Chain A
């Protein structure tokens, strides 16, 4: 190296150690990579807890009678299962975890725009979790993750209030995070990267952040109103005082529908990275994918009433929101087709990340199509609040978001840890998870269509057989965690060193060491190719064969 790279310490006046030690990960730390890992690991712990709750619920549902859990306990479990999965697992892992870890690296920055705010946003998570687990000691919230009043006003006030505080805190965290991502991407993108060279994951984060920014506050105010109704005697949702229970539903879904896109848009970003890299082919339709995220985000703000088709919803609303909901299928379809087209004609490496990405594609399409059927109000009236809906959202959430997170974990594992994971274990994990997911959630469609409502601990015995299948499936899912767990722990300490760029990927995070140095890049990263230009340079090299030096010098010229 001819010119000595400037020492990070000199530049910022920060005094970081050369590498973080293990205990740094348990302390307040402003390095976006540490924060990313903190998010990922805590979120994963919550996932396991929520998963165990699901297994308990499935055990209860093995028979038609409430013979395993008291119904109150069942309701507590289902509420907190949904809450943990959504607010403490998918959102923090996808946005907080991978967003934090990857965005600065991908745009060639040293850190997020507001490192301290970032750390604060993370630490709100464990604090929120303390509130949530405290609520369990009071019997827990039992009104479902939607917490509709008046039920949430009259059941277990202490548990419900703590639940509200937990969600309010985690919502604050997500607003702070969103703000940080927007400013970071807008301001800190390395100047030699054009907007159309921005990795699609970052585009997805832009859309996600906008959505989080504009919808989360509405949930926050709804929850504050609920909290006041429970504890301070206000009448927002008390009809006898002139309040209106349906107003809560609007406030809740105005956030929580966009929240489902919060949970899938970053995953879509991950998909673009993973598929293109492992198929060794440029992403098909970069612009279409980038803009469709924004389209989903805009349309996604205007579909929330599809969760309220059977509520106090006038006919014109039912129809308006039917149509807007159906329209969301179009930009989503653009993405799906683009990924299939990216696979088409590629040289597809069947690595674990790619398997999970393809699994996601397969199941998300299914979940999306069932979502479209739900969007048609006349049909939704029949299946609303049934297991058909439960099936739909587990297909998109488990088959979508969780599969995407697994793909991301495998894909960036070498970068994060500097070591390779075990491919065989990864494939075993994939097969078990894929089978388990379909076995658990496919039969649920049937249950819903035939008349089994959701959120019940005791059900009509005619549904027992199908429920047994679902329960077996969930056990497979429980087991499927084991190879993953073993793989992660073993490979982190024993895996073969991965080097900088085991996937020969083109996005910037792969230009630095694995794991990346504390301030990411020893020197200014060079954007010498588009993020997905696989095969593009091969052509030019064959044609006139310039040396690497020449290319890089050229890039340097262009920058000036």
Chain B
């Protein structure tokens, strides 16, 4: 007898479908959440890269930010408050759907969308007010690319929430037990929020010192 054993040629073992096999089919909820988290872990390194670069530029510059490219603080602070509170608002939506209250969830999500859009509007307004551009110096380059890149993420988050709203039109699409899409959107939104807090510290708070 050698070690060659071929299971499938053998009848002794009853072919049965275990949970794993049926689960391996299609994209299941828990996989998707795990997948998203993994993706966000990866994404955060993208921000990590540019944040580190920013800190290097800052540490080697004599004046930071260079003269003529100072940042405004008031408006961004308000914007920050809006974005941070939106994380709580979206979480209310998550709590609602866990109780099966689709309508409430829709309301909370709509509110988050509005807050996200206000944030983006504020950001654009800030851009127009600053008086320097992408190519003024390395600080302004960092400023626009970092906030712009983050803004892009906010925008994607808004789109995702709109997707949730759109899908939740159909009764029963989301329920207390089935709401992976809602949950993923929330996770993503928190991620965008956390990145903003770091960004705010780097670009605004740190420039005060």
Contact = CB atoms under 8 A, between A and B. Distances in A.
Given A187-B30, A217-B45, A234-B134, A244 B60 contact: yes
B17 A6 contact: yes
Nearest to B56: A247
Interface string B29-55: 011101100110111111111101100
B16 A12 contact: no
Interface string B1-24: 111111110111111111111111
Interface string A227-240: 01000111110100
**Which interface residue of B53, B134, B142 has the most chain A CB atoms within 10 A?**
B53
B3 A535 contact: yes
B8 A521 contact: yes
Given A186-B34, A234-B141, 10 more contacts: A11-B22, A110-B21, A183-B35, A213-B38, A221-B49, A225-B50, A234-B144, A238-B138, A241-B137, A500-B6
**Which interface residue of A233, A241, A549 has the most chain B CB atoms within 10 A?**
A241
A358 B65 CA distance: 58
A526 interface: yes
Contact of B27 (A113, A501, A538, A545): A113
A549 to B, nearest CB: 4
A69 interface: no
Contacts of B25: 11-12, 14, 110-111
22 contacts: A3-B15, A6-B17, A12-B25, A109-B20, A175-B39, A175-B42, A179-B38, A182-B38, A183-B38, A187-B34, A221-B49, A235-B138, A236-B138, A238-B138, A241-B135, A254-B49, A504-B4, A511-B7, A524-B18, A529-B5, A548-B5, A552-B7
Contacts of B145: 224-225, 228, 234
A311 interface: no
B141 A111 contact: no
A213 B19 contact: no
B119 interface: no
Interface in A486-538: 500-501, 504, 506, 511-512, 521-526, 528-529, 533-538
A216 B41 CA distance: 12
A188 B42 contact: no
Contacts of A6: 15, 17
B197 interface: no
B35 A179 contact: yes
Contacts of B200: none
A247 B13 contact: no
A191 B18 CA distance: 9
Nearest to A508: B7
A251 B30 contact: no
B12 A548 contact: yes
Given A188-B23, A188-B24, A218-B46, A241 B53 contact: no
B133 to A, nearest CB: 8
Nearest to A254: B49
A528 B5 contact: yes
A233 B30 CA distance: 44
Given A501-B4, A524-B16, A534-B3, A221 B50 contact: yes
Q: List the 5 shortest-distance A-B pairs measured between CB atoms, nearest first.
A: A233-B135, A523-B15, A234-B141, A242-B138, A217-B46
Nearest to A513: B8
B135 A538 contact: no
A529 to B, nearest CB: 7
A378 interface: no
Given A179-B39, A244-B56, A114 B1 contact: no
B66 interface: yes
Contacts of B42: 175, 178-179, 213-214, 216-217
B15 A234 contact: no
A235 B66 CA distance: 13
A251 B49 contact: yes
